[in-house]
Chain A
Amino acid sequence: MRPDEELLMSEWALSGRAASDPTKAEAGVTPIPNGGVSSVSAANSDTWSDIGKIGLASVPPKRSDNEGETRLQRRDMRPGLVIASLILAVLMAAAIAPNRLADGDPLEGNARQAFRAPSFAHPLGTDENGRDVWTRLVYGARPSLVLGFAATVFAVVLGAAIGLFSGLSHPLVDNFVMRVADVLMAFPEYLVALVVITYCGHGTLNEIAALATASVPRFARMVRAQTQIIRRAPYVEAATALGLRGSTVIIRHVLANAIRPVLVLATIDVGLKIGAGASLSFLGFGAPPPSPEWGLMLSVGRDFLANAWWLTAFPAVAIILTVLSVTTVGRELVRRSEGRGL
């Protein structure tokens, strides 16, 4: 995964060039020979047939120029993307106004209603304390999303700051910072998160801090690699040749272009962070039991696997759908920004 990211970053910088190189797009496009209005499609001749053709979060998209433009048109209305966006919209709604989607209290139980299987009154059943599972799931959306976004934002902000500082510093400083990041990246992110929790203790805030800290070196490296590439880009040299101030060139051209692709990639990280956060809650490092956290619900439901399947199945589905839709939308963003400079 990590080598891929490096690859991605370098591809990113070159993507515009590759996508528009007329010799590479021979079959897919029909440029007008006299240098007239040539095709935008040349830039878009990278095609992905479907949701997952680019792999995991960090897999750089590949173009195959021989494929036609039909898929290109189809890609804007892929059903997978539409469903993912809808799910995301519902999640947002649940996070903002959970009381609109579910009436009742996620914490208040009714012992006589315990372990009710899914029915008309309780579409997703009730838990061991007689609380409505649907209500608890709806109220669990906010902590999940907040955790995913907050952890990603912290990681990106810190990582970008370090990456930019390193990439623009003297090579000696840069080398030192990157060696430290290299060493940090030798530690698996999940384990770094556990180390942070060991030091800081349990709880939602510490969970966020743990997940964010763990991916800071990764983002730092990405931003730094991007900075290095863009510093040498012909457009930066052209700006230098115009006689612009060094600081102006860096702010106007280097910074914005170095961070942009990383931001887009980070959207995919949000999904992964939601999953990782749920894992930590599942292990008991998150908020304490009564709170409606999905990971925690799964963890508790595990004790009743034999007699109440709905206590685990529905939170599981909720987590999968959330991660899946955030990832899908994130990838679409990556796809769209690819080669177009956003």
Chain B
Amino acid sequence: MSGPPSAWARLHPAIPLLLRLVIAGVFIAASIDKIAHPDRFADIVLDYDLLPDPIINLFAVCLPWVEFALGLFLVAGRWVPSASLLATGLTVMFMAAIGINLARGNANLHCGCFSTSAEGGKEAAWGLLARDALLLAAGIWLFVRSYGCSPLTASSSSRRTPGPGHR
């Protein structure tokens, strides 16, 4: 699966590394306030009106730590394909949650993305979707690059080492 370096990678070899660190930073930054205020985050999850009440606390407690953990894995360069796949999946989930609320006519909602405070304010759903789309594109790109045996996986234990005879 190893192919020629992408145009970006040819542009600068540090770009894949930077992108991985940016995605990691986004997820770690997104987790901090939610970890500090699980009650507020649970309120926000409740307002999304997507999950049954009995699992909202569990979700609100676990999601920020999952974001934090995957961020750490990306920073450390360990299990990068798996972490980037998870990041992509979470981003798809966030976009679906926002999209469903948008379809319901709730175009101005508290994202709960980086801040849980009421003063953090509501954001336009379309803006949130656009931001998540960028994150999604970056996550997919990182996954394809890392899974595809690129230099990104040089420090990953899951890399496929290309060599003579490797397809």
Question: Do they bind each other?
Answer: no
**Contact surface of A with B, Cβ cutoff 8 Å:** none
**Contact surface of B with A, Cβ cutoff 8 Å:** none
